[in-house]
Amino acid sequence: MPVSTLLCLYATFVFAVDVQVYPSVLTRVVGSPIQQGLLLSSLFLFFPLSSILSGAISDRIGKKAVLITAGLFLATPFAISAWFEPFWIRALAVLLFGFGIGALESQSSAFLADTHPDRERSIINIAQAFFSIGAAGGPFFIALAFRLNPSLRLQTMLWVVAAGTLTLVFGFFFLHDGKTGVSLEKGGFRRVLADPMGRLLLVAMFLYTAPEMGTAGWLPKYAEVHLSLSSGTAPLSLTLFWAGLGFSRVLVGFLFHNIQDTHLLKTVLCFTLLARIAAFMLNRQVASMVLFFFIGAGMGAVWPTFVAMIGRRFRQTSGSAVGLIVAIGGVAVPIMHQIIGVLSREQVFGLRYTLLGLGIFTLGNILVVWRIEQLERGGMGGV
């Protein structure tokens, strides 16, 4: 496997660990609950913006320079948070972190799509499997660190993570990015928005990310309230969900190279919808926990496949195209959490039926994928 690919896989893992560690530490080092809430709500504030900006820039100067900068944006906030205690400085660090994660996730995926033509889906699925491992590994890292050293200071942990993240910056200098200097006239974003297939892929990403992150954000609360799990064991529901995502991404990344994208998507989306209906209708502790794994397994291959499809279709301006579709996913997250917060009140639908109702997004996505398949049969090539 090329060194550049290994670096991007490593970057995806580190990014996932950082996204788990940073919020966990911030809620401990910042004083009041109001300050904690402000910082956490700001964490992804600039994620969509940085995805779009980094895509536009990478199409002009190359992805290597953008990824080096993203690595610095990712590492610096840990160091700032460890060195400075005033709230406003840590708030600035959070905003920098949001810029870093948006640029890193979108442009590392775009880079992989560029360097693995005709195998974009496989390599991006493998990369997202590394994300799943990192997402599970971040909390484990915190627990293990305090287990081995109960007197460990949070500032020390911040310095350690900052140093580990800086290895990305060093590694990115060894990337071989041969795609630079796309002219301004190419209009990467305009090309996506003017293309029927491009618009459908953006809609499909929104319809996917909304129920994925909506489920992930509220699953532990559901397990505690409706499955009678304790506050200590309820997060296992989320662990099973992420494990399912990682499992399917590995499976698709290594085994299912020859299945057409739309056929794969229709299959896994239908599987996801059925697993969701069963999980929240049965409302049985053991059965639901197992079904949470299967919901994740159905969802796992969807995000990487949409990213691979748009990267392949807009290969000449993949930075802009992938940056835009990742940004759309980022926009869906806060919108979905607000919707769930309103609808999950007992006087409205309640949490159980709200999470069950997220299947409407998946059903809509099946229809969008069906329309994409029609356009492909009509001979709409890459643009």
Residue 339 is assigned to a structural domain of this protein: yes
Domain boundary among 165, 181, 197: 181
CA distance linking residue 276 with residue 319, whole number of Å: 34
CATH of residue 216: 1.20.1250.20
**SS3 track for 94-156:** HHHHHHHHHHHHHHHHHHHHHHCCCCHHHHHHHHHHHHHHHHHHHHHHHHHHHHHCCCCCHHH
Q: Based on the domain organization, do 149 and 33 belong to the same domain?
A: yes
Its domain, for residue 30, covers: 3-181
Report the C-alpha gap between 188 and 319 in whole angstroms: 8
Same domain, yes or no: 199 and 297: yes
pLDDT digits (tens, 9 = 90+) for 264-317: 999 999 999 999 999 999 888 999 999 999 999 999 999 999 999 999 999 888
**Count of structural domains within the chain:** 2
How far is it, in rounded angstroms, from Cα 349 to Cα 352?
Answer: 8
Give the mean pLDDT of 333-350: 89
78: tokens are 């840990």
Give a yes or no: residue 382 inside a domain. no
Residue 275: its pLDDT value, please?
Answer: 97
**Of 149, 181, 213, which one is at a domain's C-terminal end?**
181
For the segment 245-259, the average pLDDT, to the nearest whole number, is 86
Task: Assess if residue 209 is contained within a domain.
Answer: yes
Average pLDDT estimate for 356-361: 96
- Residue at 150 is within a domain: yes
Which of 181, 202, 222 represents a domain boundary (last residue)?
181
- Tell me if 383 is assigned to some domain: no
Provide the percentage of residues in the chain whose pLDDT is more than 70: 91
Q: Is 286 a member of any domain?
A: yes
pLDDT one-digit tens code per residue, 177-220: 655 444 444 567 888 999 999 999 999 999 999 999 899 889 98
Locate 55 and state its tokens: 């895509």
| Same domain flag for 75 and 171 | yes
